[in-house]
């Protein structure tokens, strides 16, 4: 039986099944009120790891979580990501991990989240125009100053992870990964070998799990939903996997978290393991998170 907790960086204890806040609407009105309720319900149900990013609404998602949850209950950790900026002329996003840009985004995150310290901060994308040593070095400096506690990466290769680890300790990796898309299996293997937390996004294959006959069949046998099967498979696949499924509906949130209690048989796991995992290529994940928009409604 897999444990339900993990210590990120060896000491930051979280429940392995977390919550991704990207899907939460932030504009004023009934949808925002619902978003606040979803975030609060997640914590009521025992979620201790909530994922957001500067890019999600350009800070609006961070502010939403602070409105919903601050002062944060003991043991609840909001992890955010920096390193993506919006172009003023076009409105499109691009990597920007220059040290000054990273420092500014961290300062903004501290203000928006209403905290003095972020337990886990992740680099949303490696900036190809800035030396890696400058990017990771800036985060290392922020950690030394006490503004962040642990450093993570997102959408990286095995080689990039290794290069970053030569500069400083890396506590987490957040890559696209699910039962139907295992492009980053080598990265997961590297994380498992090093005890690094692996936070998959697009955890339920953009809601397509139920369209796969084998997953649907296992779900029927187990008395569960295809989504729950996909999440239970992730939890049992590697002890370092910390899924962060996102949704904007309380019913789906409750369905997701119930997957923690689903125990797949060895025979069922074998059948699921045989699925090809042929999903989007690594290049798509490197370029954006458009697919994550359809995670769960």
What phi and psi values does residue 16 have, to the nearest 5 degrees?
A: -65, -35
According to DSSP, residue 201 is labeled B
Q: How high is the pLDDT of residue 79? A: 98
Helix axes 226-237, 266-273, angle to 10 degrees: 90
Q: What is the pTM of this model?
A: 0.91
Residue 297 covered by a domain: no
For residue 111, list its beta bridge partners.
none
Q: Which residues are catalytic?
A: 56
- 183: containing domain: 5-279
CATH number at residue 9: 3.20.20.100
Q: How high is the pLDDT of residue 209? A: 67
Residues of the chain falling short of pLDDT 50: 1, 278-297
Domain count, the chain: 1
Tokens of 77: 């950790």
Q: How high is the pLDDT of residue 206? A: 59
Residue 293 covered by a domain: no
Contacts for 189 with CB less than 8 Å, ≥ 6 apart: none
Q: How high is the pLDDT of residue 283? A: 34
Residue 291 covered by a domain: no
Tokens of 157: 């290769």
Residue 124 covered by a domain: yes
Residue in 167, 164, 171, 161 with CA at minimum distance from that of residue 196: 171
State the number of CA atoms in the 13 A half-sphere of 6 facing the CB: 24
Residue 284 covered by a domain: no
Residue 285 covered by a domain: no
Residue 288 covered by a domain: no
Residue 145 covered by a domain: yes
Q: How high is the pLDDT of residue 87? A: 74
């Amino acid at each position: 039986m897999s444990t339900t907790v993990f210590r990120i960086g060896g000491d930051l204890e979280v429940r392995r099944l977390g919550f991704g806040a990207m899907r939460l609407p932030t504009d004023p009105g009934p949808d925002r009120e619902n978003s606040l309720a979803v975030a609060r319900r997640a914590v009521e149900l025992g979620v201790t790891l909530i994922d957001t990013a500067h890019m999600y609404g350009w800070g609006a998602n961070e502010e939403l979580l602070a409105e919903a949850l601050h002062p944060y209950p003991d043991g609840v950790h909001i992890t955010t990501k920096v390193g993506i900026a919006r172009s003023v002329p076009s409105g499109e996003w691009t990597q920007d991990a220059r040290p000054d840009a990273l420092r500014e985004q961290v300062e903004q995150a501290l203000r928006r989240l209403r905290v003095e310290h972020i337990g886990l901060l992740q680099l949303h994308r490696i900036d190809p125009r800035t030396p890696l040593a400058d990017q990771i070095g800036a985060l290392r400096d922020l950690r030394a100053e006490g503004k962040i506690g642990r450093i993570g990466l997102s959408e990286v290769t095995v080689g990039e992870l290794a290069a970053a680890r030569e500069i400083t300790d890396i506590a987490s990796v957040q890559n696209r990964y699910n039962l139907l898309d295992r492009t980053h299996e080598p990265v997961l293997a590297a994380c498992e070998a090093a005890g690094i937390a692996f936070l998959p996004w697009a955890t339920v294959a953009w809601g397509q799990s139920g369209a796969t006959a084998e997953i649907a069949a296992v779900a029927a046998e187990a008395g569960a939903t295809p989504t729950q099967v996909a999440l239970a498979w992730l939890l049992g696949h590697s002890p370092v996997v910390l899924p962060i499924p996102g949704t904007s509906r309380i019913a789906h949130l409750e369905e997701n978290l119930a997957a923690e209690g689903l125990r797949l048989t060895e025979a069922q796991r074998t059948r699921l393991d045989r699925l090809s995992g042929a999903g989007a290529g690594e290049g798509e994940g490197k370029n954006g998170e458009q697919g994550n928009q359809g995670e769960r409604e």
